[in-house]
Amino acid sequence: MGQIRSLAELGLTAQGGRQVEITGLSVDSRTVRDGTLFAALPGTRVHGGEFIQYALRMGAAAILTDAIGARIAHEELAASDAALIIAQDPRQTLAYAAALWFGAQPETMIAVTGTNGKTSVATFTRQIWEGLGFEAVNLGTTGVEGAYSAPMTHTTPEPITLHRLLADCESAGVTHAAMEASSHGLAQSRLDGVRLAAAGFTNFTQDHLDYHASFEEYFNAKAGLFARVLPEEGVAVINVDDPRGVDMAEIAADRGQDIITVGRRDGADLRLMAQRFDATGQVLRFDWEGHVHQLRLDLIGGFQAENVLLAAGLAIGAGADAERVFETLPGMKTVRGRMQLAATRENGAAVFVDYAHTPDAVATAIKALRPHVMGRLIAIIGAGGDRDAAKRPLMGQAACENADEVIVTDDNPRSEDPAVIRAAVMQGCPGAQEVGDRALAILRGVDALGPGDALLICGKGHETGQTVGDDVLPFDDVEQASVVVSALDGGLA
Ligand SMILES: CC(=O)N[C@H]1[C@@H](OP(=O)(O)OP(=O)(O)OC[C@H]2O[C@@H](n3ccc(=O)[nH]c3=O)[C@H](O)[C@@H]2O)O[C@H](CO)[C@@H](O)[C@@H]1O[C@H](C)C(=O)N[C@@H](C)C(=O)N[C@H](CCC(=O)O)C(=O)O
Ligand SMILES: Nc1ncnc2c1ncn2[C@@H]1O[C@H](COP(=O)(O)OP(=O)(O)OP(=O)(O)O)[C@@H](O)[C@H]1O
Ligand SMILES: N[C@H](CCC[C@H](N)C(=O)O)C(=O)O
Ligand SMILES: [Mg+2]
């Protein structure tokens, strides 16, 4: 964007007090230009220090790294004019520098973490703000959505991309932003430069054990949102029905943050008292500060009510008036690919698409659909390649225990053999039908629906591609479901 900043303006101090002008920031040596500050970060495959020599050759004016990176490129650095900034945690230092480089971010921001429900809560928070008349966005797995839109490749992008997007939102007039804090994003300090008014916690169950060394490490990454990113004056909004919510609330209390607890348990500040389900939604009764409210949500699944209430808590925590927030709730719209009604058969049977891709989400999603359905419930599941392999049989088991019939299919095999992934899922559900081709699996599932039955297609939600090897083949569960329903029922979708 043609700007030039000094290191001091980015809050950085170089070895020997060297002063240089910076023309841009980069974490990838391949995008370094004259004057760039190259952040050479410790990676999961290789240390970015290995690429310092290339970055210097491309004209880097400064290198931000840790002691290991500086050691790797010791000779090249000694022979260069570039400024060297050595930080204990260069990822966090980069996050602060990126926030200063791009300068602006929406005035009111919240972030939400948890194994499942982040996209849903961020989307509902944006919808609540819209209902209150604010220019609002949500950022995460489904990209930037709302008053400003842009695609994103990560749920929580690295800080340079994140702050560029936030600055773009701000200059487009966005005043309110709700973002997802993934455990990878938190572990890598990607959002440490974001100014948060409130932060939320949904739940904690198994996922990503390929990346985090243990369950506790995975929890600690998520806890970083309250222990580190949310300031003392921020408000923590916590689902206390989850056993780890209580631990999270303690961490927030130790920081002196105000806490809004949400859940079914007695004493929760925003307490869900009752839910009644029908074919197209649910009626909720909840309590806030001793006042009981009752309203209808056009949303499928009891857990979406929990997500809506967490979103309401976040909007309140970030400064909105509680009663006005509650008035917006009946207007909440289905989150793309989350318990989304994709098609209805002529006989009344419904096909839903959901993003359940963890054992807990599969169990939750199937159980949540049950009270909306009079007949049998068929589930289609699959697990992703190059992701936590331990969750595969557990996902199979979760489907087996909760659905009347299960079809196991492919879901982004990536570099792995899809048959091996399916076999692992089948271990948890030996009675399932195995149909590798996802389009055929959907055809089988839809074809088996009798009056009053429902099909839940899990795993891909809003996704529009099937990743096989390095290829992304166009595939959309919602589209596929409606094509199949039209084909079987002769033109009706
Ligand atoms: C495991 C993980 O999080 N990896 C992320 C991480 O890469 P890394 O540090 O491991 O990269 P590396 O290959 O070891 O390289 C080390 C460093 O050298 C640099 N490099 C590398 C090659 C080169 O020629 N020049 C160069 O400078 C790299 O940019 C990197 O900074 O930092 C990169 C740059 O910021 C990310 O793009 C990359 O995301 C990868 C692609 C990824 O797939 N991440 C997923 C798992 C992820 O982050 N998912 C979460 C949420 C998932 C969920 O909740 O479901 C997300 O927030 O999206
Ligand atoms: N509060 C919840 N409790 C349990 N399961 C949930 C909850 N909310 C959503 N889910 C399940 O998790 C799936 C993914 O939901 P969502 O996309 O909101 O989660 P996420 O945390 O953003 O996921 P990701 O880690 O991929 O970003 C849903 O489709 C549903 O099956
Ligand atoms: N953000 C998640 C999404 C998984 C969705 C599922 N379709 C899969 O590919 O496993 C991940 O990358 O682990
Ligand atoms: Mg998400």
- Model confidence pLDDT, tens digit, residues 68-115: 999 999 999 999 999 999 999 999 999 999 999 999 999 999 999 999
Query: How confident is the model at residue 149, as a pLDDT?
Result: 98
* Choice from 206, 358, 412 to test ligand 3 binding pocket (greatest atom count within 8 A of CB): 412
Is 196 a domain residue?
A: yes
What is the distance between the alpha carbons of residues 170 and 165, in angstroms, rounded to a whole number? 9
Is 324 a domain residue?
A: yes
Cα-to-centroid distance, 143 and ligand 4 (Å):
10
Residues 6+ apart with CB under 8 A from 219: 204, 244, 247
What is the distance between the alpha carbons of residues 220 and 237, in angstroms, rounded to a whole number? 17
pLDDT score of 209 more than 90 = no
- H/E segment holding residue 67: helix 67-72
Is 3 a domain residue?
A: no
Query: How confident is the model at residue 493, as a pLDDT?
Result: 43
**C-alpha pair distances (Å), 94 with each of 25, 26, 348:** 9, 10, 54
Residue closest by Cα to atom 22 of ligand 1: 28
Cα-to-centroid distance, 182 and ligand 2 (Å):
12
Q: Decide whether any atom of ligand 3 lies within 6 Å of the 245 Cβ.
A: no
CA 396 to chain centre: 23
Q: Decide whether any atom of ligand 2 lies within 6 Å of the 239 Cβ.
A: no
Could you list the residue range(s) of the whole structural domain that residue 406 is in? 340-488
Cα-to-centroid distance, 113 and ligand 4 (Å):
9
**Mean pLDDT for the chain overall:** 95
Does 265 share its domain with 408? no
Query: How confident is the model at residue 210, as a pLDDT?
Result: 65
What is the distance between the alpha carbons of residues 468 and 407, in angstroms, rounded to a whole number? 20
Please give the full DSSP string across 297-329, using - where no structure is assigned.
E---SHHHHHHHHHHHHHHHHTT--HHHHHHHG
Using DSSP's 3-state secondary structure scheme, residue 199 falls into strand
Query: How confident is the model at residue 206, as a pLDDT?
Result: 66
Cα-to-centroid distance, 141 and ligand 4 (Å):
4
Using DSSP's 3-state secondary structure scheme, residue 402 falls into helix
| Ligand 1 atom at minimal distance to the Cα of residue 41 | 31
What is the distance between the alpha carbons of residues 35 and 421, in angstroms, rounded to a whole number? 46
Using DSSP's 3-state secondary structure scheme, residue 261 falls into strand
pLDDT score of 492 more than 50 = no
| Ligand 2 atom at minimal distance to the Cα of residue 239 | 1
pLDDT score of 1 more than 90 = no
pLDDT band at 219 (very low <50, low <70, confident <90, very high): confident
What is the distance between the alpha carbons of residues 325 and 270, in angstroms, rounded to a whole number? 12
What distance, in Å, lies between the first and last C-alpha atoms of the chain?
47
| Ligand 1 atom at minimal distance to the Cα of residue 190 | 35
CB-CB contact of 465 with 438 (8 Å): no
Of the bound ligands, which one is closest to the alpha carbon of residue 477?
3
- Return the CATH number at 358: 3.90.190.20
User: Across residues 346-351, what is the average pLDDT?
Assistant: 96
ipTM confidence: 0.95
Query: How confident is the model at residue 204, as a pLDDT?
Result: 85
Q: Give per-residue pLDDT as tens, 270-311.
A: 999 999 999 889 999 999 999 999 999 999 999 999 999 999
Does 35 share its domain with 171? no
Residue 338's Cβ-count burial label (10 Å; 0-12, 13-18, 19+) is: buried
Last residue of some domain: 312, 331, 350?
Answer: 331
Of the bound ligands, which one is closest to the alpha carbon of residue 29?
1
Is 129 a domain residue?
A: yes
Q: Give per-residue pLDDT as tens, 11-25.
A: 999 999 999 999 999
Of the bound ligands, which one is closest to the alpha carbon of residue 460?
3
Does 321 share its domain with 458? no
Question: How many domains does one find in the chain?
Answer: 3
